[in-house]
Homo-oligomer: A and B are copies of this chain.
Amino acid sequence: MSGARLTDLVAGLPATVPFVGPEAQQRTSGRTFRARLGANESVFGPSPRAVAAMAAAASDAWMYGDSESHDLRAALAAHHGVTPAHIAVGEGIDGLLGNLVRLVVAPGDRVVTSAGAYPTFNYHVAGFGGDLVRVPFAGVHEDIEALLHAAPGAKLLYLSNPDNPMASWHPAAVIEAMLDRVPDGTLLVLDEAYADFAPAGAIPEINADDPRVIRLRTFSKAHGLAGARVGYAIAAPGLVAAFDRIRNHFGMTRMSQAGALAALHDTGWLAQVVTQVAEGRARLAAIAAENGLAALPSATNFVAIDCGRDGDFARAVLRELIARDVFVRMPGVAPLDRCIRVSVGRPPDLDVFAEVLPQALAAALTQR
């Protein structure tokens, strides 16, 4: 009667999850969020052409999706000026990160990231037994010198540019210079989930045949398709081919492939979303300023607002925002956790935030 015996590795993993979703929070509270500004989703929605493509694909859902995501990979290759052999498609960057870690990280292997960077990457590293080394941010930036200093012997070196959760960015030239200093045997994992929002000069030119780096992109942010789970990697063909040895070959749904393909082609929609996001960032900065707080410069669809005190205070602000039905999140590590992280919303969403933030700040102050 003993049943399954988990592997020693799995038995040692915590039961915690990287993120609790907003639906789960709503079920716990019994309330509904007035503004959903916590997961850096695109409140502006997907392209209507993507919606139509997904609706049309629904009738064909009796057929497994194309296991090679051929049409989507071909379109992405054309978009980036590479070949389909340079493109791996997966169930969001989350899914790709999990498979990447599995490909490269054996138990005990060293992996380097920044303290406070993407928790789901850390979750996957722990899940495959990697030895995760975290280096502090330098101010609001991931610290490239410190990352490189820690890199020797590491299998993976994670960097997000633009950064999550601080919304900062490094110029392309800095990333390109960093790449030349990545040690032999280390793969740079360049998470560019927010690339579509970045200012000119932030996204590096990298030869897709360069074996030292894998770039990760997603349809979850600017394309507004978080719920369709489509991410992709750009890397040298040898590494891309390795994903085929372990991935869930029919894991990309027919609707998701169709939606992403249509979204990629609707460049007009993407452009207006990027414009609206820029306007929303300015509005968030203004709201912060009205409350005596500083919004950090942002190259993403969210803004980190420095609450001006310590992590306990920012956590109190966050709690009070959520208690007032505004879904936001915040960095998990000091000193970044002096900030809350607010996704750009439509004007009505930001009206709610503007209404509630002073109340949340006042309530948090009474808890000092």
Q: Which residues of B contact A120 (CB under 8 A)?
A: 249
Is the Cβ of B250 less than 8 Å from the Cβ of A92? yes
Q: Which residues of B contact A289 (CB under 8 A)?
A: none
Q: Which residues of B contact A21 (CB under 8 A)?
A: 64, 66-68, 249-250
A224 within 8 A of B: yes
Q: Which residues of B contact A252 (CB under 8 A)?
A: 229
Is the Cβ of A211 less than 8 Å from the Cβ of B104? no
Q: Which residues of B contact A239 (CB under 8 A)?
A: 3-4
Main secondary structure of the interface of A (DSSP, over half): loop
Question: A244 to B225, alpha carbons, bound, how many Å?
Answer: 23
A257: nearest chain-B partner, CB-CB: B227
Beyond A2-B184, A7-B109, A64-B226, 8 additional pairs, beta carbon < 8 A:
A6-B242, A7-B105, A23-B68, A42-B62, A44-B62, A45-B61, A98-B248, A227-B253
**What 8 A-B pairs come out closest when comparing CB atoms?**
A3-B211, A227-B254, A55-B55, A54-B58, A21-B67, A62-B224, A61-B227, A4-B187
Question: A8 to B227, alpha carbons, bound, how many Å?
Answer: 35
Instruction: From A12-20, A304-312, A348-356, give the one contacting chain B.
Output: A12-20
Give the interface of A toward B (CB within 8 A).
Answer: 1-10, 13-15, 17-24, 27, 36, 39, 41-46, 50-51, 54-55, 57-68, 70, 91-92, 94-95, 98, 102-106, 109, 120, 127, 155, 184-185, 187, 210-214, 220, 224-229, 236, 239, 241-242, 244-246, 248-256, 259
Is the Cβ of B23 less than 8 Å from the Cβ of A228? no
